[in-house]
Structure 1
């Protein structure tokens, strides 16, 4: 269950899992609540899954229950924050035995109005009543997305996103240093992500200016979809701090692994994340990361080296100092082979995530489905 299969961390990580899940016998269907399939729908269908756009209108409850019964669905896996409560209630009405609420972020990004608080409270109660499993990509996502004290609920557990390392090996025809006009001694900073407010991309041009004041010449590149308003805010910040010639908006890319390997540091100034895939991707390529002090970032740093955290409300000069420290001395050493080995043996590997999902799907099913290797589930 997604809003739409558009480009985003949760969507991409789920698609990464599809080949393993389908090879294990899973019959996978996506329901998109916006009524749009999404730009990633063709990729999903090429892998063997099906997409069902069902808009959230007055007919949705009946149509959704009928779909579940027609498919004889054994699992409903909902990725829409606390709104999962309503979907799991309908799944229970349809008789679906496995009902999963999956939290991917430290919040839903919605305004904290009285109406929104009441809705979250109701939805969390529905999750508590109707979910067979409550999972999240990090401990912080359960604490802030679901509720504190989740450790006492045996249904709650952390299943980190798995990362497809093969996707990071895609070649590129772009020389990053040339594209940003970097001289041999310049530090190349890279931001990868969508242009949404919580990513706070406009904080990075002032940090580049602050690096200049420290005697460090830096260049900054953004890889991600264009958005007129957010792009304009980044450009205004660059011009205000007189680094407009040092900032490049590269637009959407499918070669981020290759770009990360060419960068000196990946920078993530987000105000809200669950388990930031950008941080995992950078570490898997051996590239150091400077990121906001968020629960998901701390969780990654506990298990993999190469992460420097900066206070969420840090000034540009603090970001500059962290970038400077991360790209000089011992922090700048890069052993790509060692990074890949460390990642493959970590809980963030794609294999670990796939096994955890299959185990969760089969756990509540009848004995034949739960015990037979490769037994199908829907």
Structure 2
């Protein structure tokens, strides 16, 4: 299994290298390390966790992209990335890795399937076993899929020491509606690194798109998957045109041929093909976002959407579908215009034109300071992760306090 490893695990991390110096070793399990919200938020934690003596390694389950484009960040901060595809050999390979790596924590981001992986971690005698719910998973399933999910949930209940959700609704929809009765459950908000968003870019969106100085520049950030509904952006653009607003839309995020074909077909159908621009994945998202007049996030399935948090942190008006995670953000920070999930493109267009006014009226520095004092600041997320990771380390090792603003979450979530 080691021929695919990237980073320190490739050069023999194992029992002989385990230090009793107060450090903590974490094994994170994700589908892949691509440019998605979960992966980006996880990568942003790495330098701060490493500075606190926490070593983070990754297992990726995808057989599509290998270690993934964020593997370099993991290696740079002392970790490694080991792709182990989900096939018949997976259980044995995973248990062998646990024996070699000897992690203090296994932290899994695979919804209810986390139960399968945490049962393996229990067999591997890992003391802290964390399941992390990232989305409001309320999709319709067949009877077979519901039964399978029920089994996975029972395994999770039997094996997890900690059950986290990025928002109250992520735990309600993903784990169980009575999650508050389970003492292992807590809301751990995604922390957002403002430093990354303020890195400069050498690209100017108006020059890239050919937008005029008075054209409304709309940006949408998210991976190309059906639930993101990027194909709604061309009809929204056409709705703006019908309301007398000249606009362009820029789509940023990992690409998919089928999704892009659907977006381009919608753009041609509505006569806006020259005003829809697909930039694919970028590492200068913050620099591009700062040039937007408004952000549009039409996704119909989220947990705590970074595609809404990021522009709000920069003071950019954002239009998003009416989802629990979006409403949760709106409870804490201004700048979100919420639209019914099934609203017509003309309704979205009117909301976009209105939200642009928030951008014009908001000072970016004021928005940044407001965000840093909110529960979404990355420092709060780091403190909470460290507290969970170190809770079951041998006695006598230093502990890390839970972020103070976590205590405000239940009241805010129940308003």
Instruction: Normalising by structure 2, report the TM-score.
Output: 0.86
Q: Which has the higher contact order (CA 8 A, sep 6+)?
A: 1
Counterpart of 1:319 (choices 327, 336, 348) is 348
The Cα offsets for residues 122-144 of structure 1, whole Å up to 9 and x where unpaired, read as 11111111111100111111111
The Cα offsets for residues 224-275 of structure 1, whole Å up to 9 and x where unpaired, read as 2332211111111111111112211122221111111111101000011111
Measure how far apart 1:284 and its partner are. Answer: 1.5
Q: Which residue of 2 aligns with 1:376?
A: none
Task: Figure out how many residues of one structure are paired with residues of the other and give that number.
Answer: 371
Contact kept in structure 1, 2:298 and 2:321, CA below 8 Å: yes
Contact kept in structure 1, 2:294 and 2:359, CA below 8 Å: no
Q: How does 1:66-85 map to 2 (within 5 A)?
A: 66-85=96-115
The verdict on how the C-alpha distance between 1:73 and 1:251 changes in structure 2, with shifts beyond 3 A counting, is closer
The Cα offsets for residues 154-180 of structure 1, whole Å up to 9 and x where unpaired, read as 111111111111111221122112322
Q: Which residue of 2 aligns with 1:206?
A: 235
Q: Which residue of 1 aligns with 2:390?
A: 362
Query: Which runs of no fewer than 5 residues in structure 1 stay unpaired?
Result: 374-378
Secondary structure of the residue that 2:397 maps to in structure 1?
A: helix
Counterpart of 1:31 (choices 36, 55, 59) is 59
Q: How does 1:283-294 map to 2 (within 5 A)?
A: 283-294=312-323
Counterpart of 2:334 (choices 302, 305, 317) is 305
Q: Which residue of 2 aligns with 1:114?
A: 143
Q: Which residue of 1 aligns with 2:81?
A: 51
The Cα offsets for residues 90-122 of structure 1, whole Å up to 9 and x where unpaired, read as 11111111110001111287x712221111101
The verdict on how the C-alpha distance between 1:212 and 1:23 changes in structure 2, with shifts beyond 3 A counting, is same
Q: What is the CA–CA distance in structure 2 between the aligned matches of 1:331 and 1:16, rounded to whole Å?
A: 26
2:50 counterpart of 1:17: no
List, as ranges, runs of 4+ consecutive aligned residues in structure 1 with deviation greater than 3 Å: 369-373
Measure how far apart 1:290 and its partner are. Answer: 0.3
Q: CA RMSD in A?
A: 1.7
Q: What is the CA–CA distance in structure 2 between the aligned matches of 1:372 and 1:284, rounded to whole Å?
A: 27
The Cα offsets for residues 18-76 of structure 1, whole Å up to 9 and x where unpaired, read as 11111111122111223532222122112211122222222322222232233222111
Contact kept in structure 2, 1:75 and 1:97, CA below 8 Å: yes
Secondary structure of the residue that 1:135 maps to in structure 2?
A: strand
> Which region of structure 1 is more displaced relative to structure 2, 176-185 or 153-162?
176-185
The Cα offsets for residues 291-342 of structure 1, whole Å up to 9 and x where unpaired, read as 01111111111111100111111110110111121123x5641210011101
Contact kept in structure 2, 1:102 and 1:135, CA below 8 Å: yes
Q: What is the CA–CA distance in structure 2 between the aligned matches of 1:31 and 1:108, rounded to whole Å?
A: 26
